[in-house]
Every structure is written in structure tokens, then in C-alpha cells.
């Protein structure tokens, strides 16, 4: 029998992850200026005119993949520090907001492309993973 994770524990784990990224934000930014080369092909799926949402954007490095296209980009991360780094080096190439991926402060159906890299494993509990994917 599978016993669901208690919501309090899941929330605690999410908060610990957020705090962890706050602590390592400077090192994260310094060591992750380039997006994963093996995933560059994903940029081919983004067309001129797309409205792209990047959930868990970190320092915004996915923008490098699509830099030669005309698009609207919004990056969301729950780390204020990582959003600060994204704003510093990605500047006016995108809009970055600090928000909870389980409760995005964005209009439904306002994006036609949604990407998320390296986030799902930080979301504990089946309930929250379903909520994340639904959001």
C-alpha cells in the first residue's frame, strides 16, 4: 500500500529546496551560464511569435537557446536571488518573476509554449506534482 506524503512534510521540503537555492544562487549562476548542449534541439520547437513560459528558470539560461528568435519570454523561479541573477545577465530579453510553480500568478492559457527543466524532482508528493503539471 502506498501512503501519500503528508502535506506539511511536502511543504517543508519545498521550502528547504527554496532556501537551498537562495544559499547557492551565486555559485549556481557562476557555474550555469550555458544551457545543456544536448537539449538545444528543444529550441527548434519554439517559433517566432511564441509566448514562452519557463517554470524553474533559475538564472534564465534557456534564453541562450532561443536568442535568435522573436518571442515573448517569462521566466518563473521561487528563488529571489536566482531571479535577480537572471535580470542582471538576461536583462531586457525576458521578464522574470519570483513565484511558486504550484500557484502561478499568471493568466491561464496566456502561453503557447511551456518549458521546465530540472524542477519536477524538487516537488515532493504526488498531489503537488499533479498540481505543478496542471498549473
Answer for the pair 18, 79: CB distance below 8 angstroms, yes or no: yes
Which band of pLDDT confidence, cut at 50, 70 and 90, is reported for residue 92?
confident
Residue 89: per-residue pLDDT: 82
Angle at 110 between CA 112 and CA 85, to 5 degrees: 85
> Which ranges of the chain does DSSP label H, i.e. alpha helix?
7-31, 80-90, 126-134
Contact 27, 87 (CB under 8 A): no
Looking at the DSSP assignment, which residues form a beta bridge with residue 75?
A: 54, 96
Structure confidence at residue 1 as a pLDDT band (50, 70, 90): confident
Cα 113 from Cα 69, distance rounded (Å)? 14
**pTM, two decimal places:** 0.92
Amino acid at each position: 500500500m502506498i501512503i501519500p506524503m503528508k502535506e506539511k512534510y511536502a511543504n517543508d521540503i519545498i521550502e528547504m529546496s527554496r532556501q537551498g537555492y537562495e544559499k547557492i544562487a551565486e555559485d549556481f549562476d557562476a557555474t550555469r551560464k550555458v544551457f545543456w548542449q544536448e537539449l538545444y534541439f528543444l529550441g527548434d520547437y519554439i517559433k517566432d511569435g511564441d509566448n514562452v513560459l519557463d517554470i524553474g528558470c533559475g538564472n534564465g539560461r534557456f534564453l541562450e537557446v532561443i536568442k535568435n528568435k522573436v518571442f515573448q519570454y517569462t521566466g518563473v523561479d521561487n528563488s529571489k536571488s536566482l531571479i535577480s541573477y537572471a535580470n542582471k545577465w538576461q536583462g531586457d530579453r525576458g521578464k522574470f518573476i519570483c513565484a511558486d510553480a504550484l500557484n502561478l500568478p499568471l493568466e491561464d492559457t496566456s502561453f503557447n509554449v511551456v518549458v521546465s527543466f530540472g524542477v519536477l524532482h524538487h516537488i515532493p508528493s504526488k498531489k503537488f506534482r499533479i498540481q505543478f503539471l496542471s498549473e
